[in-house]
Chains A and B, each alone.
Chain A
Amino acid sequence: MKHKVAIVGAGQGRFGVREDASQRELAFEAVAAALKDAGTTLKDVDSMVTAVAADEFSFALQPSAQMHDYLEFFPKANFRVEGACASGSMALRVGWMTVASGLADVVLVLGAEKMTEVSTSQATEIMGKGGDAIWEYPFGMTFPGFYAMVARAHMAAFGTTEEQLAMVAVKNHFYGSQNPLAHMPKEITLEKALNSFMVAYPLKLYDCSLITDGAAAVILASEERARDFAKSPVWIEGIGTATDTMRIADRDALHTLRATVEAAKKAYRLAGIGPEEVDVATVHDCFTIAEICAYEDLGFCPKGEGGAFIEDRQTYIGGKIPVNVDGGLKSKGHPVGATGVAMAVEIMKQLRGECGSRQVPGAEVGLTHNVGGSGQVVGVTIYKKD
């Protein structure tokens, strides 16, 4: 790349059912936290990129302008980026491009979503239409439904079990219980996960991530400006984006997210590293099966061995590669537009050693993996400690 890009500040508000705050107030919490982390104010920021996945949750056009207005960021540039549940990573990519191209020196990347203003069944409908509205919608397909088909295909091909899926939930809730900003900061048992009600066979309640309100923000800076802020920067070393078919039925293999494989290849190549050099990762666990596929598709373990990988506790701290030690989408929560940015916030704090009881000791290289929809768009980003 022409110019190197650093993250110099990162912040997240509390995730949850936030009946106490509007979307713009949630955004403000995250932006203020990121700016304070960097020891600066909006006066020092040149440009802004905002991720919001869906207008349908907030019943309003141009939600990003509402947040921009509340920050009083006039007359500087702001525009919205959308990539479903990967909107946050797409906004990070656009922010990175803005700095890497030399167009701006300091860029604010914000992700926010207020999902609980609609009922769960309406949210299920909105998200389900994230599939193909003509060809999948008539069969009542929902987001859990798509990943349930991925799960059945994975189980048939590799013998992955419902217990192994539940183990992902147990791990993520274990770490989420140590994250004060998590939506559902409580531990669960394997029995509780296995006995929870069926959502989309074979996925049960605890195989599914949460419908969450929340926001997250990072401040990006050019190499020239990276050391002008309060704390040491973290560098974006690799970034990759790839896409796949709208309908999961059209994919060569239902148990692999090809967009993850391709995005990871690009990110690893740009960073000049392989998966074995990653010390800590946040992956897109919108469903437990998605985390197991991510282990394999990112190269953390061979294809088909993801179930055994969690069973052997290789993704706990102390294992081969700690994954989602912030609680993941499963326990920390999944405010869709904010998720990709919140992943970057977590990796930033891990590489700075600020994560307390869930700190991965000596972490120097981090990775975020963010999936839009059921794999239609994926962003993988690799970060290095200064």
Chain B
Amino acid sequence: MSEHDDVWKVNRERDGEAQRFESNFPEYGPIAKTFAPVAGFGVTLRNFFRPTVTEQYPDEKTPAMPRYHGRHQLNRYADGLEKCIGCELCAWACPADAIYVEADSNTEDAQYSPGERYGRVYQINYLRCIFCGLCIEACPTRALTMTNEYELAGPTREGLIYEKQDLLAPMEDGMLAAPHPMVPGTVDDDYYKGDVTQVVQEQTAWVRERRPDDPTLPENRSAEDDASSRPAQQSPDAALSGPAGPVGGRTRG
């Protein structure tokens, strides 16, 4: 007899000594006992008459809760300048290493954000992102926030790396697309404090001189509004239907 058998034997003896299981439920009566095998049908039958909870996704899309952690958005100031300064604090905070940022200098000819620095490259890899929101907490200018957009799937790995143009907030009415100069007489601090509330004449003139066809110029915008359409890359639906870049069925990696 091996040691193992000893152990087995001892354990079985202990089993015997252990208290037998006794249910606390009351014993059913004879009628209940009779119907017990088909009691489950009762549950089904009951639910026929209850309101349905099934959501007809994707035919019908239900809005998520207001603070749902969905796709990120890079916000703009009221005059259309980007809030992102390319500081990489979001990338630093990211526990999943999902964010990649490269900054660059704003110049007189190309001012994208108030101050000296802007984010030239901004990528979020939604295959890595865990939607924890630490990046949002880290952002010093409130440039990065999260939307309720949750449809983040796609056929390719590249396609799920969202670029800056995929993440930038749509141009609202009255905004002027960057790059353009800051409001004259302001410094970056004025923007951070929220003192800049609208596009001024000088900014519009600057853009008109350099990019007369810019769709966000007032004259071009009114024509657009008549057709009730917005530039495709800035429409929220465009970002929803998949990121820019070579999506078309490529399945590399």
A is bound by B: no
